[in-house]
Amino acid sequence: MHQYQWQRSSRCASGDSCVYVTTAPGDCVLVAESPAPTRVLRTTPAAWAALLGAVRARRL
């Protein structure tokens, strides 16, 4: 199994309520709730950028 280099959100509150992100082969962005997840959301870089843009613009 591949070992990903998960990055923890800079907006993470104390405790375990964090978002972790990494890239994967095949032009994928992986999003999880822990650095050792059992479930992972897989998306494209364009979709991830659109989500971040909407959050930053407070549209979500």
Q: Per residue in 10-26, pLDDT tens?
A: 877 766 678 899 999 99
Predicted confidence at residue 15, as pLDDT, reads 65
Predicted confidence at residue 57, as pLDDT, reads 95
pTM: 0.80
Identify the residue whose tokens are 């992972």.
Answer: 40
pLDDT at 56 over 70: yes
Predicted confidence at residue 60, as pLDDT, reads 81
pLDDT at 1 over 60: no
- The CA distance from 33 to 25, in Å, is 20
Amino acid at 15: G
Q: Per residue in 27-43, pLDDT tens?
A: 999 999 887 888 999 99
